[in-house]
Structure formats: structure tokens, C-alpha cells
Chains A and B, each alone.
Chain A
């Protein structure tokens, strides 16, 4: 099943043509189901870098509670299905980043699902802010109204009215680190990142200039971050006897 999903991700256009295959975007929902069944406690040694097969501790870059910094994204409070899909995409080469591909290639599907559940349950702190010198007014226009002269709908028309995301396939963008958003939008624009549903993010980013990207990244970073919908207990239950 996981292998099939990974193949779907790697051959998105083929998968969408093949009958009886779920559409590529539904991978995030499938992975969310897996994360819902996973034990988030499995993730803790991975986050801390204990007993992993050469993979680095997630916390060594993403911080202790997945808050991220600079170009390293905050993971806390992202949808579990979105996180797990990104890990599978890294492992399958559908999303490119040397560090993340190194790590993802050392995780199995169960560990990925647990990491998704773990980070989705973390509380995001408002640590991001404008760092790129972007034009916040222009960023606000792009986030709230879009720029229809270049077929760019507002960020919020898909990522929700507060930028807090919509279900599994549209992650929250409010309160994310400006340098990370800037890098991702630039990568979508150039085609270096190409794993969004229907190529929607490529079509959006290609209408934006480098200064637009800075502006909207700074604006989004200034917003209050989302909070997790479903809190799960991450404290270890005392063992019986």
C-alpha cells in the first residue's frame, strides 16, 4: 500500500491517468489515516536522534519542538498527512533537498507516520517574523486578494481565511518562517519543487516576482501561527509493574 502510494507520487501524471488509482493529491489523506493509527511515541527517539539508522535527529535542525528557524520550516501544527507525504516525497525523489533526502531514506513508513502524528500535535510558538525586507502591504494584498492580472488567487483562498490551512493537502502558511516560504516559492517558480496537487503552487509562484515572493513571505511570517486541531498526549504512561 505504502509502496503503491510512493509509486503514485513518483509518477503523478501516470497515476492520474490510470483507472482505479486514487488521484495523486489524495496521498496526503491516505497518509493522514496512517498517522492517525501510528504511535507518536515512536517518533520521540527519532526526533532526539536515538537509535536511528544513521539519520540525524530531527531536532538538530527543526528544533526541540519542531519550531524551525530561518530556512528550516516549523513543523509543529502542520497536518500529519502533509508531513508524511513530504517525507515519502523526499524518499522517492519527488521533493529535493540533500539533507531531507538523506534522512527520509533512513526512515520506514511506520516511522514517517509517527513523525507526522508527533509534529501535528506540537504547539507552534510565534517565533517567525519578517526578515527579508519585503513590502508588507504588497504581501498583504497577495495573501488576502491575490493578483488576478497574473492568475494568482489569494493565498487564503486555498490555505484558509487565516492562513491556518485546510485539511491535509493545504498546509498552514501563517506564522511560517519567511526564509523558508521564500525558498519554497522560489523553488516552485523555478520548477525545483514540483510536488503540489495539480501543480497549483507552480502556477501561483510563476506569476510572482522575486520581490513579490519576499513580500508575501514576510507578511505570512508576521501572522499568528495555527494551533493543532487535535491535541494528543505525548507523555509516557507509567508502565504497569
Chain B
């Protein structure tokens, strides 16, 4: 009887101990999320949050180094380049734009970059924004980031065969990509205009800590080598219908919100970049598309698809190259002088029509990327 009693008591104790052990071990496993970690389902910090934190830490380290340059004998006398989670230069966060006159210029430049039709209205002749092609407000590697471009000028450019300052370069953006010939003023901002200064402030600030005169990885667009099969606009037409038209529309004319503002930019026609823009070249467009399109699905097209769809987009009529239309040249002459090295369709015959003559719409009907622009009809042309 007592033996059995003792057995029962010890069994009870064992059970209590076992339950306690289970609670302790199980609780520990639960608190440490061990099972989820083993199963790979733990949710601590998202990849995005981790990358954002890594970028912030890189900038904080840089700021510390700059603050302490040469402060002690063994302290570095030059800061290291801040590097983000993916190994590219890490630009500063917009929250760190300084609260002074320079910071105000940076902010204005950023607003022009995001909404040129609203903030540089006089000089914009289409419905595009700088940030349509320089993604994430000019911060994204492999989407022609401005932190990489900022340190590359002055530079000699074959396009205009002269040394270009950043202002000269941005003048080209307005002249060609923003089709300034159709803008209310009819031209790019004049030399020394505040718009250049503010955009340059923004680029310069984005490049804080980047080396000058170095071709940084992530600059420009990573154009894949032209495939053996070349590029074909008819193959590109099918890629466009399947992968692009949901956003850019079946006829490439973009899509607007209920207020008539472009959300998805037009890719050809009177509201797009003109025949002088870098993006009209099939190789440039292929590189942008390959690394960045569709939005959120980078590198989802094959190099062949990227080249083909770039050929489809760039074999459509668009505003004239102003060097031709304003220079008294025929398309054939302009092709010879400015486009002979282009992988593109300028001056080529497509479906029985020679491309390059240009198409223009009524500027008053041009919806902007950010708000309907109503040009002053009294403004000098």
C-alpha cells in the first residue's frame, strides 16, 4: 500500500516536473521564435527594413567620420564612401536635407525633379517627369541615379562635341527628353536659370560622400549586349501587349488618374520624349527596360525581350529632333549628322513612312505628369 502510494506520489511529481520542463523549454522556444526560425517563417525585420537600416548605418558611420576627420592622430584623414545593402553608393536620406538656404535649394531641385511640369512649367513640353526614368527620385542604382551623374561633369560629350557642365547636360534633358520646343516658353531654361541651380544642388547633395570623376557602379542603365537575333519591332509588339500595355496603354499613350494627371507616362506621340533624347536609342531604352520594367519586376524580361520591346517603342513617331526642326535640316540630313551611330529608327522607313518628321500636339491640351498645365496664351513663344 505504502509502496504503491509512494509510486503514485513520485509519478505525480515526475508528471509535474515534466510539465514544468515542457512549459519552460516550450516557453523559451516560443519566446525566441526558435521553431519559426527553424521553419524559416520567423518575422523579425523585413528585408526592406533591414536594407533601410543598413543604409542609415552606412550614412551614420560616414557622418561620424566626417565629423572626426583628423581629430585624432590615428583618425582617418578622408572618409570612406558610404555603401548600402546592395553594395552601391548609399545616398543620404531626404530627412537629412539641411535646414538652410542650400537645403531649400535642394528641396526645390527635388520637387522640380519629381514634378517638372508643375515646378518648371515654362520649359516642359510633354507629360514626362525626370523621375519617370531616374527612379526613386534619382536615387536608384541602375536607373541612372543622380548621385553617379553628379561627379561625372564637366565632361566632353560627343553629342554636342564640347565640354559640358552639369548645367549644359541638364539643358539637354530639357531640350530633348522634356521636349522644351513645345513648352510655353519654347525652349529650355536660359543659361544660369535658378532651375539649373536647384537641380544641381539636389544632385550635389545626393552625391554627398561619393567620389568625383569616378564611374560608379550602378550609374546609367545596364544595357545587356545586343542578342544574336538583333532586335525586332514585331516581336517587341507582342512583348509590349503582354507586359507593358497594362500600365502604358495599348497605344503607349500612358494612363491618367481621374484628375487627368498622368500616372503612367506616354512612351511615344506628342507627349513623349523627342527624337533627340537619349531614350530614343534602342540600346538605352533596352537597358532601362531590362533593369527596371515593369515597375516592381526588374530583370523580369529577357535581354531579347528588352531589346525587342525597346525597338517597338522607339519605332513610333514622336516630337521632332529640335536640331532638325529648328536647324532647317531635312530628316535625312539630321540622320546623317546626328543619328548615324544610333541603334535606332530615326530616318528609317517603317510601314511605308519615314520616321523622324515629328508629331506635335496642342500644348494647351498637354496634361502634365502632376497636374494639368494651362500655359498662359500671352506668354512669348
Do A and B associate with each other? yes
A contact residues vs B (CB 8 Å cutoff):
16, 23, 25-26, 145-153, 157-158, 160-162, 164-167, 169-170, 197-200, 203-204, 207-212, 226, 229
Contact B48 A149 (CB under 8 A): yes
Which stretch of B295-303, B319-327, B346-354 is in the interface?
B295-303
- Among A26, A149, A151, A211, the one with the most B-chain Cβ atoms within 10 Å of its Cβ is A149
Is B362's beta carbon under 8 Å from chain A?
A: no
A202 to chain B, nearest CB (A): 9
40-55 of chain B: CB within 8 A of chain A: 43, 45-49, 51-52, 55
Within 8 Å by CB of A161, from B43, B246, B263, lies: B263
Is B332's beta carbon under 8 Å from chain A?
A: no
A152→B296 CA distance, assembly (Å): 5
Can you report 17 residue pairs joining A to B where beta carbons are below 8 Å apart?
A23-B245, A26-B246, A26-B250, A146-B136, A147-B52, A149-B55, A158-B263, A160-B258, A160-B261, A161-B263, A170-B263, A199-B297, A200-B297, A207-B46, A207-B47, A207-B48, A208-B48
B contact residues vs A (CB 8 Å cutoff):
43, 45-49, 51-52, 55, 84-86, 135-137, 139-140, 241-243, 245-247, 250, 255-258, 261, 263-264, 294-298, 370
Contact B246 A23 (CB under 8 A): yes
Contact A23 B135 (CB under 8 A): no
Within 8 Å by CB of B298, from A151, A162, A169, lies: A151
Within 8 Å by CB of A203, from B139, B245, B256, B296, lies: B296
A210→B44 CA distance, assembly (Å): 9
Residue of A nearest to B94 (CB): A145
- A200 contacts across to B, CB distance below 8 A: 246, 294-297
Contact A204 B296 (CB under 8 A): yes
Contact A165 B257 (CB under 8 A): yes
Within 8 Å by CB of A212, from B49, B85, B139, lies: B49
B27 to chain A, nearest CB (A): 22
Residue of A nearest to B257 (CB): A160
Contact A198 B48 (CB under 8 A): no
Within 8 Å by CB of A158, from B47, B245, B295, B298, lies: B295
A24 to chain B, nearest CB (A): 9
Contact B46 A198 (CB under 8 A): no
If A148-B136, A200-B246 are given as contacts, then 16 extra A-B residue pairs at C-beta distance below 8 Å, sorted by A number, are A23-B246, A145-B136, A146-B136, A147-B48, A147-B51, A147-B52, A153-B295, A166-B256, A197-B246, A204-B296, A207-B46, A208-B48, A209-B43, A209-B45, A209-B49, A211-B46
- Among B242, B243, B245, B295, the one with the most A-chain Cβ atoms within 10 Å of its Cβ is B295
A225 to chain B, nearest CB (A): 12
Contact B48 A212 (CB under 8 A): yes
- B43 contacts across to A, CB distance below 8 A: 209-211
With A148-B136, A151-B296, A200-B296 known to touch, is A23 a contact of B52 (CB < 8 Å)?
Answer: no
A49→B96 CA distance, assembly (Å): 56
Within 8 Å by CB of A165, from B242, B246, B258, lies: B258
Contact B256 A149 (CB under 8 A): no
Contact B246 A209 (CB under 8 A): no
Contact A198 B246 (CB under 8 A): yes
Residue of A nearest to B46 (CB): A209
Contact A23 B258 (CB under 8 A): no
Within 8 Å by CB of A149, from B52, B137, B263, B264, lies: B52
A151→B45 CA distance, assembly (Å): 16
- B52 contacts across to A, CB distance below 8 A: 147, 149
- Among A26, A162, A198, the one with the most B-chain Cβ atoms within 10 Å of its Cβ is A198
Contact A166 B297 (CB under 8 A): no
A218 to chain B, nearest CB (A): 16
Within 8 Å by CB of B84, from A16, A146, A149, A151, lies: A149
With A151-B296, A166-B257 known to touch, is A145 a contact of B137 (CB < 8 Å)?
Answer: yes
Contact A148 B247 (CB under 8 A): no
Contact A198 B297 (CB under 8 A): yes
A76 to chain B, nearest CB (A): 15
Contact B263 A160 (CB under 8 A): yes
A212→B45 CA distance, assembly (Å): 9
A160→B260 CA distance, assembly (Å): 11
With A166-B255, A207-B48, A208-B46 known to touch, is A157 a contact of B140 (CB < 8 Å)?
Answer: no
A206 to chain B, nearest CB (A): 9
A203→B43 CA distance, assembly (Å): 18
Q: Which 6 A-B pairs have the closest CB atoms?
A: A209-B46, A149-B51, A25-B246, A160-B257, A150-B48, A147-B48
A170→B248 CA distance, assembly (Å): 12
A224→B237 CA distance, assembly (Å): 39
- B263 contacts across to A, CB distance below 8 A: 157-158, 160-161, 166, 170
A212→B86 CA distance, assembly (Å): 20
- B85 contacts across to A, CB distance below 8 A: 149
B4 to chain A, nearest CB (A): 54
With A145-B136, A161-B257 known to touch, is A169 a contact of B246 (CB < 8 Å)?
Answer: yes
With A198-B297, A229-B258 known to touch, is A212 a contact of B135 (CB < 8 Å)?
Answer: no
